[in-house]
Amino acid sequence: MKLLVTGGAGFIGSEFVKQAVLSGYAVAVIDALTYAGDIERLKNVESWYRFYKVDITNKPALEEVFKKEKPEVVVHFAAESHVDRSILEPNIFIKTNIEGTLNLLDLSRKYGIQRFINISTDEVYGELDEEGKFTESSPLMPNSPYSVSKAGQDMLGRAYMRTYGLPVITVRPSNNYGPWQYPEKLIPVVIVKAIKNEPIPVYGDGKNIRQWLYVEDCASAVMKVMEKGRDGEIYNVPGSEELRNIQIVETIIEILHKPKELIKFVQDRPGHDYRYAMDSDKIEKLGWYPKTKFKDGIRETINWYINNLTWVENKMDYLSKFWAKVYK
């Protein structure tokens, strides 16, 4: 079975490519290698996949890859993926996440793709207070430019299934963490700042709650859905543990033996969603559950950043400017 994986040089996409290659799939990767993309993430799978540096908003270039590779399944991870950046620069989110997805859906229809896995997010549901969980039939109430663009991507998939009969399956994962995550997202920012003994920025009062999912578990869920899911269905992929941001920060500080005084509460993110939580019944019926406990996953992740600090240092020019813009 030939897979076309978009965003395969990104954090989650690269983990999926590794697992797919190990499972014996032929894999072609499309990635524009934006600031967030890095081919180094695929160094351990070197010759086992074909790589195309293509932007999904460039339809003619994308079509050349479809013609050449003749994929049977498209697994679509490519996206602008960071909420804070979407607040600073919303346009690129609409272009990549909505227009780019439209191009992929169109070409998938034209070239008779057998299955299209559309990677959405829990953020499309909007926020919850302390109670309850989102199911796959909860209404979409996205709040940030990022989550609105992802809801657009998500709904376009639905439209292509309903209108044109393209076999689309939608996957909505919760917050991921693990090795190789670009240090703009909470967990790698905290780890990197703590390692460097720099002030650790925490939005607002730090009480926001997320369901944390280890990246290997997320990729295995996508694989499970690709192999066992039903066309036209939506699958939530929640991590098993709900944690407040401040609990995450305190855990990392403790593991690294750093002082709590490094924590610096900063002006909250505009429109910051309070809590995301999803029900996992549907994907569990496919035989998937998250294997990695947070206490183990976070240790793996911290060790990885300690051993790969040069990877972060090489990105520091971009990162220091970005951090200065968002943490006030």
By CB under 6 A, tell whether 31 contacts ligand NAD.
yes
By CB under 6 A, tell whether 121 contacts ligand NAD.
yes
216 catalytic per annotation: no
Strand locations in 43-151 (E): 49-52, 73-76, 115-119
Active-site option among 38, 80, 122, 154: 122
Phi-psi map region of 132: left, alpha, beta (phi>0 left; psi -120 to 50 alpha): left
> Minimum Å distance from CB 131 to ligand NAD?
22
Contacts of residues 17-22 at CB distance under 8 Å and 24 or more positions apart, as own/partner, are 17/42, 17/45, 17/49, 18/42, 18/44, 18/45, 18/219, 19/216, 19/219, 19/220, 19/223, 20/75, 20/223, 21/45, 21/48, 21/49
Question: In this complex, which beta carbon is closest to ligand NAD, that of residue 115 or of residue 185?
Answer: 185
By CB under 6 A, tell whether 238 contacts ligand NAD.
no
122 catalytic per annotation: yes
| Site size with ligand NAD, rule: CB under 6 A | 29
Classify residue 246 as exposed, middle or buried by CB count within 10 Å of its CB (0-12, 13-18, 19+).
middle
64 catalytic per annotation: no
Within the chain, what is the greatest distance between any pair of CA atoms?
Answer: 57
By CB under 6 A, tell whether 27 contacts ligand NAD.
no
Per-residue contact track with ligand NAD, 45 to 84, x per CB under 6 A? Answer: ----------xxx-------------------xxxxx---
- 76: which DSSP letter? E
> Minimum Å distance from CB 143 to ligand NAD?
15
Q: List residues near ligand NAD by CB under 6 A.
A: 7, 9-13, 31-34, 36-37, 55-57, 77-81, 96, 100, 119, 121, 150, 173, 175-176, 182
Catalytic residues: 122-123, 146
